[in-house]
Structure 1
Amino acid sequence: MKLHHLTVCIVTLCWIEGVCECVLITQWPRDIISNSSAEMHCYQNDTDYEYLYWYRQLSGGQIQLIVYLLAGNANYEPDFKSGFKAERSHTKQWSLTVSSVQQKDEAVYLCAASHTSLCSYDPAYFGAGTKLTVLGKKSLEKRRRRSNNLVVILRKTLVCVASGFYPDHVTVFWQHNGQNITDGVATDAAAKWNKTSKLYFITSRLRLQAKTWFNPDNKFSCNVTFFNGTDYNNYSKLIKCTFSICPTEKYLTITQNAKLSYSVLILKSCLYAALVCFLVWKLQVGPAESAALTSPSILKRLMWD
Structure 2
Amino acid sequence: MRSSGELPARAPRAGRAPAVRYFEIPEQHREAAEAWLERGAGLPGSAPTPASAVVFVRDGEAGVETYLSYRARTTSLGTVGFPGGPVEAHDDEPLEWSGPTPGEWARRLGMEGDVSRARRAVVAAVRKAFEETGVLLAGPDPMSTVESVEGAEWMSSREALAVGDVSLAQVLGRRRLVLRSDLLKPLAHWVTSDFAHRRYDIHYFTAVVPDGQSPTLLESKGVWGRWVDASQAVADPAGSWLGDLVDRPDTVGRRIDDLSSPGVQCVLETVAECSSAIAFLAKNRAVVTRNPVLEVRDGRPVLRLDLS
After TM superposition, the score normalised by the length of structure 1 is: 0.28
Q: Which has the higher helix share?
A: 2
- Could you say which structure has the greater relative contact order, defined with CA pairs below 8 angstroms and 6 or more residues apart? 2
Larger Rg: 1
Structure with greater strand percent: 1
Report the TM-score when normalising by structure 2.
0.27
